[in-house]
Structure 1
Amino acid sequence: MDRLWAAGWRHFGRYFFRYSSQTDEQGTTQTITPLRIDLASCSFTKSQRRVLTKNTDLRHDIVPAALDDELRAMFQRHKQRFTHNVPEELETFLGPDPATGPCECRMVRVFEGDRLIAASFFDMGLTAASSVYGIFEPTESKRSLGIFTQLLEIQHCREAGLRWLYPGYATHEPSAYDYKKQFRGTEWLDWSTGEWSPMT
């Protein structure tokens, strides 16, 4: 998995893929840019530290990934935020049973009291991890829970002694994925050379 991620591959369930372009809602071609975070050089920005502070009233855990009806129902509410390339179900990203591979998959769960309000899923390799997908309750959007779970993944992977976290694809052009470019220590993969370079 470490070698595949370093070459720009990703997977949803047991389907592996990589692609260098996509079309947005207006029909404009966008250049796909694989990203990874150098965990040794990643420090949180002032804005990211504010997200952590804003959510100190919440509790979280990190457990082996497993799907249930509560997560599926949250996904159905979460996906209403999107109008383009909307998947049918959470299994589109994770497969029917993420615990069975192709590698170890863990999930962050975030609770307000006993109520689950966010979750994110990430794969573990030997020296790296790869974020798969994150969901949250749309009514809690003011908490920036997508950023919050990504920060929790970074902390967990750093504590586990990993070198890299692959947050997924973004685009060279401005897009809804620009938040992935805001983490210090982020590098991008040049498809033409196969080389990783610091994000400027």
Structure 2
Amino acid sequence: MSPILNQAFHCPSVPAEVMDRLWEAGWRHFGPHFYRYSLSVDDGGVRTITPLRLDLAQFHASKSQRRVLRKNEDLRCEFLPATLSMQARMMFQRHKTRFKDNVPDDLDTFLSETPATTPCTCQECRIYLGQELIAISYLDIGQQATSAVYGLFEPEHSARSLGTLTLLKEIEHSQTLGCQYYYPGYATVEPSPYDYKKQLHGLEVLDWESGTWSPLPRSIPGR
């Protein structure tokens, strides 16, 4: 039986090589607050948490992911140092209406007051339709790895699958940086809204007990 973990610590500044080791051990963070846990509870019951990471050398886009890229060829993408802008805060308030469980109050839940540098280097992926900003995601940069922090988009453009698009753009950017791994965050063993994270070729899953990573079985349709 795997151990039940519920651990946390606070640290405002972490070197890139240490971030790599923390992600490898299953740690995540919101601002300077670091955490890892193996179980969660929502309206659907107890969920078994499973950290994921993507071996970037093994990744290739699936048929459905290529469709998302083609559908959004009219959009412009750029990566900049992360900011906690009023524009992003307002988009978050519209974005969070999509959720029913564990709805956070605001974007400050996920980011520090200086997100570009605290607790580590962080960039934001900005997606534009013409001059309109319609999606933002935040990506931590380590030495040999990157890690997704949070993504949001304008609900009126939900048909574009912008959550998948920003994920794919983060992967592409991580490859451009020469990184080995991309951490898309936690998922659950049980079905959940985060199953889209499992639909990536080259995924690995962490065994909490042994601390080792192994390939995620390709059991999700469409992968």
The TM-score, its normalising length taken from structure 1, stands at 0.98
Partner of 2:4: none
- Superposed, 1:169-180 pairs within 5 Å as 169-180=186-197
CA distance in 2, matches of 1:89, 1:121: 15
Pick one of 50, 69, 73 that aligns with 1:33.
Answer: 50
CA distance in 2, matches of 1:176, 1:60: 25
CA distance in 2, matches of 1:172, 1:24: 14
- Is 2:33 aligned against 1:15? yes
Give the paired residue count: 199
- Superposed, 1:151-166 pairs within 5 Å as 151-166=168-183
CA distance in 2, matches of 1:77, 1:185: 33
Pick one of 1, 11, 24 that aligns with 1:6.
Answer: 24
Partner of 1:112: 129
Gaps (5+ residues) in structure 1?
A: none
CA distance in 2, matches of 1:88, 1:24: 17
The TM-score, its normalising length taken from structure 2, stands at 0.88
Say which SS state the counterpart of residue 40 (structure 1) adopts.
helix
Pick one of 122, 135, 150 that aligns with 1:133.
Answer: 150
CA distance in 2, matches of 1:6, 1:130: 11
CA distance in 1, matches of 2:78, 2:46: 39
**Deviation of the 1:24 alpha carbon:** 2.0
Aligned-residue CA RMSD (Å): 0.7
**Deviation of the 1:100 alpha carbon:** 3.0
Pick one of 65, 78, 88 that aligns with 1:48.
Answer: 65
Runs of 4+ in 1 over 3 A off after TM superposition: none
- Is 2:159 aligned against 1:142? yes
CA distance in 2, matches of 1:60, 1:149: 9
**Deviation of the 1:60 alpha carbon:** 1.2
